[in-house]
Amino acid sequence: MKINIYYGGRGLIEDPTLYVISKLTSVLKELRVQVTRYNLYEEKNAITMLPKTLKEADGVILATTVEWLGIGGLMQQFLDSCWLYADKDKLSKLYMLPVVMTGVYGEREAELTLIKSWEFLGGTPFHGLTAYVKDHVEFETNPDYARTIEKKAEEFYRVVNHKSVILPSSTVTFKQNVLTDHSIALTPQESEQLSMYVSDDSYVKKQKEDIEELSQLFKEMLTNGNGEAGQEFIKNLKANFHPLENFAASYAIELSDSKKTLVIEVNNKSLKCYYGEKPDADVIAKTTRAVMNRLVNGRITFQGAFMSGELTAKGNFKTLRTFDQIFRFNLL
pLDDT digits (tens, 9 = 90+) for 256-276: 988 899 999 999 999 999 999
**Does 94 fall in a domain?**
yes
Q: Which distant-in-sequence residues (6+ apart) come within 8 Å of 52 by Cβ?
A: 85, 86, 192, 195
Query: Are both 160 and 237 inside the same structural domain?
Result: no
Average pLDDT over the chain, rounded to an integer: 88
Closest CA to 162 of 122, 124, 208, 213: 124
**Does 56 fall in a domain?**
yes
With a pLDDT cut of 70, the percent of the chain lying above it is 85
Q: How far apart are CA 263 and CA 281, in angstroms?
A: 8
Q: Give the range among 23-37, 212-226, 228-242, 293-307 with minimum mean pLDDT.
A: 212-226
Which pLDDT score is estimated for 258? 84
- In tens, the pLDDT along 94-105 reads 999 999 999 999
Report the CATH number that the domain containing residue 67 is assigned in CATH: 3.40.50.360
Identify the band that residue 229 occupies on the pLDDT scale cut at 50, 70 and 90: very low
In the chain, which residue ranges form alpha helices assigned H by DSSP? 16-30, 73-85, 88-91, 107-121, 136-140, 143-162, 170-177, 188-199, 201-223, 234-239, 289-296, 302-308, 317-326
Tally of domains in the chain? 2
Domain that holds residue 50: 2-180
Distance of CA 325 to the CA centre of its chain: 53
Q: Which distant-in-sequence residues (6+ apart) come within 8 Å of 218 by Cβ?
A: none
Which pLDDT score is estimated for 279? 92
Question: Is residue 195 over pLDDT 60?
Answer: yes
Which pLDDT score is estimated for 167? 83
Closest CA to 239 of 251, 247, 231: 231
Query: Are both 9 and 110 inside the same structural domain?
Result: yes
Average of per-residue pLDDT across 244-254: 94
Question: Is residue 224 over pLDDT 70?
Answer: no
Average of per-residue pLDDT across 160-171: 86
Query: Are both 159 and 288 inside the same structural domain?
Result: no
Query: Are both 176 and 249 inside the same structural domain?
Result: no
Report the CATH number that the domain containing residue 311 is assigned in CATH: 3.30.1050.10
Question: Is residue 310 over pLDDT 50?
Answer: yes
Radius of gyration of the chain (CA): 34
Which pLDDT score is estimated for 90? 92
**Does 213 fall in a domain?**
no
Domain boundary among 180, 210, 241: 180
Query: Are both 245 and 321 inside the same structural domain?
Result: yes
The predicted model scores a pTM of: 0.61
- 89 close to 123: Cβ distance less than 8 angstroms: no
Average of per-residue pLDDT across 28-48: 95
- In tens, the pLDDT along 91-138 reads 999 999 999 999 999 999 999 999 999 999 999 999 999 999 999 999
Query: Are both 173 and 238 inside the same structural domain?
Result: no
Q: How far apart are CA 3 and CA 95, in angstroms?
A: 9
Which pLDDT score is estimated for 228? 47
Query: Are both 130 and 272 inside the same structural domain?
Result: no
Question: Is residue 45 over pLDDT 70?
Answer: yes
**Does 209 fall in a domain?**
no
Average of per-residue pLDDT across 293-318: 92
Q: Give the range among 48-52, 168-172, 249-253, 313-317 with minimum mean pLDDT.
A: 168-172
Question: Is residue 182 over pLDDT 60?
Answer: no
Query: Are both 243 and 166 inside the same structural domain?
Result: no
Query: Are both 32 and 175 inside the same structural domain?
Result: yes
Query: Are both 164 and 248 inside the same structural domain?
Result: no
Query: Are both 317 and 248 inside the same structural domain?
Result: yes
**Does 218 fall in a domain?**
no
Question: Is residue 223 over pLDDT 80?
Answer: no
Question: Is residue 149 over pLDDT 90?
Answer: yes
**Does 331 fall in a domain?**
no
